[in-house]
Amino acid sequence: MNKRMAFRLVLTGWLYLLTIGTSAQAQTSIVRMGAANTQLFDDGWLFSRFGLQADGSRREEPAHLEEEHLADGAWQQLNLPHDWAITGPFRIELDGNSGKLPWKGIGWYRKHFNIPAADAGKRIFVDFDGAMAYAKIWVNGQYVGTWPYGYNSFRMDITPYLHAGKENVIAVRLDTESWDSRWYPGAGIYRHVWLVKTNEVHVAHWGTYITTPTVTDKAAAVQVKVTVDNQGASPVKALVRTDVYELDIHNKPVKKITATSPTAITIAAGNNAITNATANVIAPKRWSIETPHRYLAQTIVSVNNKTVDTYNTAFGIRTIAFTPRDGFLLNGKRVAIKGVCNHHDLGALGAAINKSALTRQLKILSAMGCNAIRTSHNPPAPELLELADQLGFLVWDEAFDAWKHGKRKNDYNKLFPDWREKDLQALVHRDRNHPSVVIWSIGNEVMDQRDVAITKELADIVRKEDSTRPVSNAYNDPDGGRESGAAMALGLMGVNYFFSEQAKWDADPRYKDMPTMGSETSSCVSTRGEYFFDGDYKNWQVSSYDNAKPGWGCSPDEQFRTNAKYPHLLGEFVWTGFDYLGEPTPYNSDETNLLNFRNDPNKRAELEKALEALRKNNPPSRSSYFGIVDLCGFPKDRFYSYQAHWRPNLPMAHLFPHWNWPERIDSIVPVHVYTSGDEAELFLNGKSLGRKTKQPGVNFRLIWNDVKYTPGELKVVAYKDGKPWATDVIKTAGSAVKLSLQPESKSVVNDGEDLCYITLRVQDKDGIMVPRSHPLVTFSVEGPGEIVATDNGDPTSFVPFQSHDRPAFNGMAQVIVKAKKGAKGKLIVKAASEGLSPAAAIIEVR
Ligand code: GAL
């Protein structure tokens, strides 16, 4: 089996896992954990943009847009999640580091909604999963509250402002002009919003905390702490009980297995009380990466024998331990953390959350052997954690990119004085029941990383809310962080890039017992399908020979060597799994890059000069080159480097570059091979070019540096333990004659969210992809669906993601489609390009 087949097979397996039982079982699945009466509040919003506009002009923001009776009939109608900036246009004069997209502005959202008369006396909340940024909320013209940090989730109690039995209006003001970012943050209510209805006595927001203090193969003690609010005017006596069910991948409770005994509490008016009870699970099914079993804790609060609240919490039973010498232990077994850092955007979809896009990201990463995600550098969408729980990923859950001192003017430093505690508590309360979350991170390369007092204060806030996971901080000044003593306040040391003094710290009595990991590694840069023979950088692209990196980074191979040198390290989080919008290093003129050289004035001066030159040239680059896969999710060559290393038992070999070099006939074209085998033989047009052997721990790819280019067939046969293991073949393509479309799934669910990603390839007459072709392709659809976006992975493209016309980039492009809500039938997706035979793909809408 070759590696392309292996990639496909893994995807097919995942698809199977995700589709089994959806139709019949979905009705009883829990859509959203938390209060049982929680409804999606995404549809039917109105939007208007003020302040900075997409074209750079300004539109004055009138006063009192929150008013109940505002004439908002002409506002744009839309459904959430919504990212107001992803429609662009890309503008050359805007910052590359935040994607050259016009995300700064003031956005107002309004929604008219009815609250039935029968809801009088209920408590009604609106839960925002995230709104970028500086959210202020009004209901019926009255101010409800604010939550400025755009990445956190928050609840607004709108009960006092509502008219039961009548129409109500909620207004939300967002302001991204007051926010700065080192990457594309998106803009708007870019995550889901929920309407929650409870009685006056109910489980508090994120009011359950489930831990498993003892776990053996025979039994697990499940400790359930429940905070119950009494928002009524008189004290109540309540009974709190939690039933425990097995939970399937679709959030359907399968079987009740145990329960806590009921606990009686008295809750004063306007106050809360906490119950703490334990349930015993016999022969627990452990949550692990391979078998991510989950349970459901269903908490029932009753008053006078009447159920007043039902609250659902998914959790897992697993043990974790971080050891200084034996790495990370999950259920007592060592697991090397094979992680990637990812920013939150979903490429062509922008920051607007889409579960199907996120699921696809995780599937692609899993096929590579990745088992962990670092949510750089902010709280993720709740869907990420739910998917990580369901699919078996470990998560490094991160709070901030800045503390007291920002990297830019309007970073979190503006919020730090008043919000740090609230933001950290919100993160931990929301996420602490997820078995996937194994590490809390209070920061990334913050300016104050040597500050002992702040480090201790923030770590203590987290530990107070959850002491079952270590608190870490990602240091790009790990020596300073340790020398100052700040790192002593942590449970786990996070090292970004700078491992040169690691041996010294491993011997230091203060730190030798502190578990350590590569919280950020490599930062290799490349563009899919580009190969240069005289340097790594050209035309605002980066060669894909996987050696290019910024001054602080290293190739994947170099990092593997470092990891081998320090086998006690817990693992690594590669920067990054996916390309993302913004930060197009090495064509990024953002001065925050300099911060990586705070201890090296010479390197800093060198980089300063390079940045100055870059600024003069005004690079068109608007998205990153760091991804192991490109912005479309197409694997770059590096994908196979990690796959070879992280999935050593998967027979695979990957050859590169492509084999279309008419201008280099008889010139050298170096050939590289990633393989999970230990040696390999290369053949050009059937003739052996020799066999090469990997030296374990030393070289992680096989290189033939003396191959003279002749068109034809290049083939590699890899061996393991002397036996044939895997092959890969690439052939010189002829001229482009046709297009092909390959959907990643045969069907798409008509829920308005599910997406089908379709890969376009430009091919020669024999179906071989033409790797240097860039024809303009027009996509269209017939039937009950629409094109959501197109892309081609080119980090310099200014074609809007919503355009149906898109040039192929190095032989490939992508169209993303979705079905109309509730529709059925067949969706026909077409691609056409002048002079080439068109292609079509049929997708069933179900
Ligand atoms: C790190 C930083 C990341 C990203 C990366 C690029 O220093 O933490 O956010 O900027 O560099 O290599």
Q: What is the pLDDT of residues 167-208, one digit of tens each?
A: 999 999 999 999 999 999 999 999 999 999 999 999 999 999
Ligand 1 geometric centre to CA of 49 (Å) = 31
Same domain, 185 and 173: yes
Same domain, 246 and 385: no
**Range of weakest confidence among 321-330, 581-590, 640-649:** 581-590
Whether residue 2 lies inside any domain: the answer is no
Same domain, 589 and 440: yes
Are residues 837 and 844 in contact, defined by beta-carbon separation less than 8 angstroms?
A: no
Within 13 Å and on the Cβ side, how many CA atoms surround 325? 1
pLDDT-above-90 percentage for the chain = 93
Residue to mutate, 524, 575, 599, ligand 1, most ligand atoms under 8 Å from C-beta: 575
Sign, Cα dihedral of 449, 453, 457, 463:
positive
Same domain, 463 and 420: yes
pLDDT of residue 609: 80
Ligand 1 geometric centre to CA of 476 (Å) = 9
Same domain, 715 and 799: no
Same domain, 101 and 189: yes
Which residues 6+ apart lie within 8 Å of 452 measured at CB? 484, 485, 486, 488, 489
Whether residue 637 lies inside any domain: the answer is no
Whether residue 160 lies inside any domain: the answer is yes
Same domain, 101 and 152: yes
Residue 24 in this model has a pLDDT that exceeds 80: no
Sign, Cα dihedral of 328, 357, 84, 131:
negative
Residue 13 in this model has a pLDDT that exceeds 50: no
Q: Whose CA is nearest to atom 12 of ligand 1?
A: 523
Ligand 1 geometric centre to CA of 553 (Å) = 9
User: What mean pLDDT is reported for the chain?
Assistant: 95
Are residues 38 and 198 in contact, defined by beta-carbon separation less than 8 angstroms?
A: no
Paired residues of 174 in beta bridges: 107
Q: Whose CA is nearest to atom 2 of ligand 1?
A: 445
Residue to mutate, 445, 604, 626, ligand 1, most ligand atoms under 8 Å from C-beta: 445
Which ligand 1 atom is nearest residue 497's CA?
Answer: 7
Whether residue 24 lies inside any domain: the answer is no
Which residue in the block uniquely carries the two structure tokens 């599910």? 754
Q: What tens digit of pLDDT does each residue of 643-672 get?
A: 999 999 999 999 999 999 999 999 999 999
Which residues 6+ apart lie within 8 Å of 558 measured at CB? 522
Residue 323 in this model has a pLDDT that exceeds 90: yes
Identify the residues whose C-beta falls under 6 Å from ligand 1.
376-377, 444-445, 476, 496, 520, 523, 550, 553, 575, 583, 585, 596
Please provide residue 3's backbone torsions phi and psi, each rounded to the nearest 5 degrees.
-75, -25
Whether residue 22 lies inside any domain: the answer is no
CA–CA gap between residue 274 and residue 269 (Å, rounded)? 14
Q: What tens digit of pLDDT does each residue of 458-506 get?
A: 999 999 999 999 999 999 999 999 999 999 999 999 999 999 999 999 9
Residue 11 in this model has a pLDDT that exceeds 70: no
pLDDT of residue 298: 98
Residue 12 in this model has a pLDDT that exceeds 70: no
Are residues 656 and 680 in contact, defined by beta-carbon separation less than 8 angstroms?
A: no
Ligand 1 geometric centre to CA of 756 (Å) = 31
Please provide residue 835's backbone torsions phi and psi, each rounded to the nearest 5 degrees.
85, 0
Please provide residue 78's backbone torsions phi and psi, each rounded to the nearest 5 degrees.
-155, 165
Q: Which residues does the annotation mark as catalytic?
A: 445, 520
CA–CA gap between residue 376 and residue 360 (Å, rounded)? 19
CA–CA gap between residue 636 and residue 634 (Å, rounded)? 6
Q: What tens digit of pLDDT does each residue of 603-624 get?
A: 778 878 877 887 777 889 999 9
Are residues 403 and 443 in contact, defined by beta-carbon separation less than 8 angstroms?
A: yes
Ligand 1 geometric centre to CA of 590 (Å) = 11
Greater pLDDT, 8 or 682: 682
Domain containing residue 672: 664-730
Q: What tens digit of pLDDT does each residue of 354-410 get?
A: 999 999 999 999 999 999 999 999 999 999 999 999 999 999 999 999 999 999 999
List the structure tokens of 117: 């008369």
Residue to mutate, 374, 523, 590, ligand 1, most ligand atoms under 8 Å from C-beta: 523
Q: Whose CA is nearest to atom 3 of ligand 1?
A: 575
The CATH number for 121's domain is 2.60.120.260
The CATH number for 708's domain is 2.60.40.10
* Domain end position, chosen among 713, 730, 747: 730
Question: What's the chain's length in residues?
Answer: 846
Structurally, how many domains does the chain consist of? Answer: 5
Three-state SS string across 222-255, please? EEEEEEEEECCCCCEEEEEEEEEEEECCCCCEEE
Strands, E, within 631-754: which ranges?
653-656, 671-675, 679-684, 687-693, 702-704, 713-720, 723-731, 738-743, 747-748
Residues 679-706, mean pLDDT to the nearest whole number: 97
Whether residue 32 lies inside any domain: the answer is no
Q: Whose CA is nearest to atom 4 of ligand 1?
A: 575
pLDDT of residue 593: 67
Which ligand 1 atom is nearest residue 550's CA?
Answer: 12
Residue 594 in this model has a pLDDT that exceeds 90: no
Same domain, 368 and 507: yes
Same domain, 208 and 191: no
Whether residue 510 lies inside any domain: the answer is yes
Identify the helix (H) or strand (E) that includes residue 7: helix 3-19
Are residues 315 and 548 in contact, defined by beta-carbon separation less than 8 angstroms?
A: no
> Which pairs from 2-8 meet CB under 8 Å and 24+ separation?
2/652, 2/653, 2/726, 2/727, 2/728, 2/729, 3/640, 3/643, 3/650, 3/652, 3/653, 3/654, 3/726, 3/728, 4/728, 6/367, 6/650, 6/651, 6/652, 7/367, 7/635
Residue 5 in this model has a pLDDT that exceeds 60: no
Same domain, 194 and 210: no
- Helical H segments across 392-433, by residue range: 416-431
Q: What tens digit of pLDDT does each residue of 257-271 get?
A: 999 999 999 999 999
Local confidence band at 20 (pLDDT 50, 70, 90 cut-offs): very low
Ligand 1 geometric centre to CA of 56 (Å) = 28
Same domain, 161 and 205: no
Total-model pTM = 0.95
Are residues 190 and 130 in contact, defined by beta-carbon separation less than 8 angstroms?
A: yes
Q: What tens digit of pLDDT does each residue of 503-525 get?
A: 999 999 999 999 999 999 999 99
Ligand 1 geometric centre to CA of 577 (Å) = 13
CA–CA gap between residue 95 and residue 582 (Å, rounded)? 8
* Domain end position, chosen among 181, 198, 215: 198
Q: What tens digit of pLDDT does each residue of 270-319 get?
A: 999 999 999 999 999 999 999 999 999 999 999 999 999 999 999 999 99
Same domain, 264 and 182: no
pLDDT of residue 381: 98
Are residues 383 and 355 in contact, defined by beta-carbon separation less than 8 angstroms?
A: yes
Which residues 6+ apart lie within 8 Å of 376 measured at CB? 341, 342, 343, 398, 444, 520, 573, 575, 576
Paired residues of 297 in beta bridges: 244, 313
**Gyration radius from the chain CA atoms:** 27
Nearest Cα residue to 81 out of 189, 166, 6, 161 = 189
Ligand 1 geometric centre to CA of 373 (Å) = 15
Residue 761 in this model has a pLDDT that exceeds 90: yes
Residue 10 in this model has a pLDDT that exceeds 70: no
Residue to mutate, 343, 520, 593, ligand 1, most ligand atoms under 8 Å from C-beta: 520
Are residues 445 and 476 in contact, defined by beta-carbon separation less than 8 angstroms?
A: yes
Q: Whose CA is nearest to atom 7 of ligand 1?
A: 596
Are residues 734 and 660 in contact, defined by beta-carbon separation less than 8 angstroms?
A: no
* Domain end position, chosen among 180, 198, 216: 198
